Structure 1
Amino acid sequence: MITAFSVNEYLASNRNRFEEISKFIWEHPETRYQEFESARFLADELEKEGFQVERGVGGIETAFTASFGEGKPVIGFLGEFDALSGLSQKADSTVKEPLVAGGTGHGCGHNLLGTGALAAAYAAKAYFEENGIKGTVKFFGCPAEEGGSGKTFLVREGVFDGLDAAFTWHPSYVNAIMGLSSLANYQVYFRFQGIASHAANSPHLGRSALDAVELMNVGVNYLREHVIPEARMHYAITNSGGISPNVVQSESEVLYLIRAPKVAQVDEIYKRVVKIAQGAALMTETEMTIVFDKACSNYEPNRVLENLLYSKMQEAGPIQPTAEEKAFAEGIWNTLSEGEKKNFVGGMESFGYSGDGSEFEGKFLADIIAAYEPSDKIMPGSTDVSDVSWVVPTAQVTTATSAIGTPLHTWQMVTQGLSSYAHSGMLLAAQSMAEAAIHLFENEEDLAAAKAEHEKKRAKEPYVNPIPEDVKPSAVK
């Protein structure tokens, strides 16, 4: 039987290799469904390691699976590797310095996420080879978590069928179990078509599509008072109809992201938003078209797997940062606004931490494992891991890869993506997930308990994929 130390030793001895993989992905930031270099690189690495790789799964070019072993159980690790537009940034800097003006960067740490999940799969494979264990280790290359709901599309296409349990993780600035539910969402384009005209000479002949978008946004703003408090309605005007104010804009578009704790609640709010859009079209005598972009469900925690994952994280123990790491983290802390500094506990809470933050006083890097306390609270965000959690028992861990208080989707997150403490946190996540998976291969009764918990929930509330069958994955416009 392989020991916890053996997994730790394997990861430590291969640290340079995993750092290079993370570095490659960080240096090749790609947005949703455009992760061609990252997906190809990761799939190639898995093939070199002896995994059987299937590319283009679920009809998505940048999605792939990699399997080692045979038979049951099948334990999966979910890896992500997409980046965010507008967040280009030099590494290891305490100053905002874009590498490419307006370029793309890993502001959510997915270079670490994908590599950490891969490292966990490698460690589990090493255990298989040393012990002659039967079963299957499976890595899922999941594109487009950022605004694309890649996993939700993959669930719809049956890519996770046959999986017995899934583990994943996310970078943050705390070591904890991600046991909160999340917000389901719909993301939908509303396009208006009007009639162009000279805005001074013949405005009466024009029908402004931009007016329709603005009226729609005003209407939705009035709706905010009359939906459940947990709901969120975000929007971005993606086409204002041009830059000439002396032309009545003949076309315009707004993208809405509607969130709520349950898909049914999202759908109810969405239908009300559609009525507002129809009203805006009537008021402006324009034509309105709806283009459904993507959706995801709320996350369904599995407490059996979470307890297992927490025990393995405790066994591994927290990373103790060096003086140099503390100094760099302090430099990042000093770049944060006063509001971001005051809100650091709120950021930790969304990742599963429960406390007042007093144990972090005077510190700039988390050096403890937060207590695991199952909660019915809802994380004020969304993830496409949610849809995987509806079809297979799933658990998530988070580890400290950035300075305390670092908000996701910022240049500060990007610049810490190659730091030594980021990679240490990545390997702590990998060890925790690998050890949890190994435990399930050796203890079928615990896997059965996790599956029984999952099936009990599904009996009460069957799963329906929230993305309509005719909607296809699409890249950022």
Structure 2
Amino acid sequence: MQNADAIWQFVDAKRDSFIALSDRVWGMPEIAYTEYRSVAEHAAMLNEQGFRVTENVAGIPTAVMGEAGEGGPVIAILGEYDALPGLSQEGGIAEPKPLPGNGYGHGCGHNMLGSAALLAATAVKDYLAANGKPGRVRYYGCPAEEGGAAKAFMVRAGCFEDVDIAITWHPASMTRVDEALSLANTRMDFAFTGRASHAAAQPHLGRSALDAVELMNVGVNYMREHMPSDARIHYALLDAGGIAPNVVQGFAKVRYAIRARDLAGMLALNERVQKVARGAALMTETSVDISIMSAVSNMLGNTPLEEAMHQAMLRLGPVPFDGEDRAFAADIQATLSEDDILNDYRRVGETVKENTPLCDWIVPRESKGEPMIGSTDVADVSWVVPTVQARVATHAIGTPGHSWQITAQGVVPAAHKGMVHAAKIMAATGVDVMSDETLMARAKKDHKERTARTPYVCPIPDEVQPPVQPRPEAA
């Protein structure tokens, strides 16, 4: 399409500035709701590119929105920039080597995710202005995707009420249209309070909160036999009650992540886990305070948008990796197991391609693999706006998610090529939707049909507010 050729030129014209943005964000990794420097970088770029900028979106100081254009439909392009704990890593080397500092690292590629999304939005803005076309494009800089559910809070606050179409992407090992499969997910804290006492002289006077946590864990483990096979439950001990074994622990706290294929299944599972917690408190004569930290829905697909994005991918072709990119990816693959590599092929239903460390093809739409499903707050946007998501190759096939290997690959030339490619796919999809009223109408009809019987209900209770973190002194 002529539109595609034009929009790709607008992406290429500014690619270097946004590659630099991605690398800067990679170098300042910040975890959920602490992304003050990263959001400042994105806000500065929005201002530099001439967007109308709104900060503190939905009352979240690390969320930002930029809008450009007038009239017409509203296309939202979603970006992220949060990092993960424990994944610090030097870039461009194929061995684990954490950098000095707090241990944070971009082990999911969100430095690229936000930068490419903003590049796509900028290209659409420039395209609309150059051609005198009506329409508005918005970049939503969204924090805390990693467990913080910022987009769900933003949806609840009405930030997407007038948006017609939403587009996003995620760094991946394979280039394809996302299958729109994700698990609804709640993160819930269980704080047990008992009674401290001398563990030797007066154990009978103590009531152990740590015992309650352990009994809860045992109860949930027994429950696993009697829940859907595609549901998931994980936990992390936040407070074990101290390091002194001769003190009966008077307080202990555990966080659970509870996932299910859909929102109704997750809510039912939530209730069962809460019953186990209350039973553990009853058995130990402690009390338990239950609080929801965050929650997200399951992803909703949109066939017309997915088909349009796939066509954009085919027009563009695969990411143009070169020999040096493949050589480094092969070095990364040498740190992985055969199962790591095989799993990536199984996920997309493809046979293993020998001596192919990087994805140099577009995964066909008809290829269906074994679903390996996580959770994302993009899902909540998908329930209120027709949404489509790309997966674009930026790292070696087989690289595990949330790994030091992804951090190491986040600033190399292959990553830069992948993120620019993603920007072109998103920008082309956005322009196609803006230029084709029938495509937008079909996307909206598809969305309406999917939500007709099950309207969206925000999974986060009204009383739960975003867990905003204070600005660090150095930020």
TM above 0.5: yes
**96-105 or 239-248: bigger deviation:** 96-105
Q: Which residue of structure 1 lines up, in the alignment, with residue 349 of structure 2?
A: 354
Residue 116 in structure 1 maps to residue 119 in structure 2: no
Q: What pairs up with 1:283-302 in 2 under 5 angstroms?
A: 283-302=283-302
SS state of the match for residue 68, structure 2? strand
Per-residue deviation, 1:379: 4.6
Cα distance in 2, alignment partners of residues 7 and 441 from structure 1 = 12
Give the equivalent residue in structure 2 for 1:422.
415
User: In the TM superposition, what is the alpha-carbon distance from 1:100 to its structure 2 partner?
Assistant: 2.3
Q: What is the CA distance between 1:475 and its match in structure 2?
A: 5.3
Task: Name the CA distance, whole Å, in 2 between partners of 1:379 and 1:406.
Answer: 14
- Cα distance in 2, alignment partners of residues 236 and 162 from structure 1: 38
| 1:53-89 Cα shifts (integer Å, max 9, x gaps) | 0000111111111000122200010000000011111
Task: Name the structure 2 match of 1:173.
Answer: 173
Rounded Cα–Cα distance in structure 1 between residues aligned with 2:234 and 2:124: 41
Compute the displacement of 1:456 (Å). 1.3
Q: What's the secondary structure of 1:38's corresponding residue?
A: helix
**Cα distance between partner residues in 1 of 2:212 and 2:23:** 45
Other-structure match for 1:467: 460
Paired position in structure 1 for 2:378: 385
What is the CA-CA distance between 1:376 and the residue it aligns to?
11
* Aligned mates of 1:54, 1:46 — CA distance in 2: 10
The residue identity in structure 1 corresponding to 2:121 is A
Identity of aligned residues (%): 47
Q: Flag as ranges the 4+ runs of structure 1 deviating above 6 A.
A: 374-377
Deviation for aligned residue 1:8: 2.4
Q: Which amino acid aligns with 1:410?
A: S
Structure 1 unmatched runs, 5+:
none
1:451 aligns with 2:451: no
Check whether the contact 1:32–1:82 (CA below 8 A) recurs between aligned residues.
yes
1:409 aligned to 2:367?
A: no
RMSD: 1.6
Matched with 1:73 is 73
Deviation of residue 373 (structure 1)? Answer: 2.8
Q: Match of 2:23?
A: 23
Residues 69, 129 of structure 2: 8 Å contact kept: no
The answer as to whether partners of 1:296 and 1:387 remain within 8 angstroms in 2 is yes
Corresponding residue number in structure 1 for 2:473: none
Matched with 2:185 is: 185
Secondary structure of the residue aligned to 1:147 is coil
Q: Distance in 1 between matches of 2:397 and 2:161?
A: 38
| 2:349/2:367 contact within 8 Å kept | no
Does 1:34 pair with 2:34? yes
Q: TM-score, normalised by structure 1?
A: 0.96
Flag the 1:454–1:375 CA change in 2: closer, same or farther, 3 A.
farther
CA distance in 2, matches of 1:200, 1:337: 49
1:454 is paired with a residue of what secondary structure? helix
How does 1:141-180 map onto structure 2 within 5 Å?
141-180=141-180
- Give me the whole-angstrom Cα distance separating, in 1, the residues matched to 2:380 and 2:344: 28
Look up the match of 1:373: 366
Question: Contact conserved, 2:60 with 2:468, CA < 8 A, in 1?
Answer: no
Structural mapping, 1:239-318, within 5 Å: 239-318=239-318
Q: What TM-score, normalized to structure 2?
A: 0.96
CA contact (8 A) 2:81 2:111 kept: yes
| SS of equivalent residue, structure 1 residue 85 | coil
1:2: Cα distance to partner? 5.5
**SS across alignment from 1:291:** strand
Q: 313-322 or 375-384: which moved more?
A: 375-384
* 1:122 CA drift (Å): 0.9
SS where residue 180 of structure 2 aligns?
A: coil
Q: Provide closer, same or farther for how the CA distance between residues 166 and 371 of structure 1 changes in structure 2, counting only shifts above 3 A.
A: same
Indicate the residue corresponding to 2:199 in structure 1.
199
- After superposition, what is the alpha-carbon deviation per residue over 1:260-286, rounded to whole angstroms, capped at 9, x for unaligned? 011111111111111111110011110
Query: Any idea what the Cα deviations from partners look like across 1:7-54, whole Å, max 9, x if unmatched?
Result: 323322322211100011101110111100111110111111110000
Q: 1:202-229, CA deviations, whole angstroms, 9 ceiling, x for partnerless residues?
A: 1111110000000000000000000011
Contact 1:180 1:379 in 2 (8 A): no
Shift of 1:337: 2.9
What are the Cα deviations for residues 213-253 of structure 1, in whole angstroms up to 9, with x where unaligned? 00000000000000011111111111000111111101001
Which aligned pairs between 1:38-77 and structure 2 lie closer than 5 A? 38-77=38-77
CA drift of 1:470 comes to 0.4
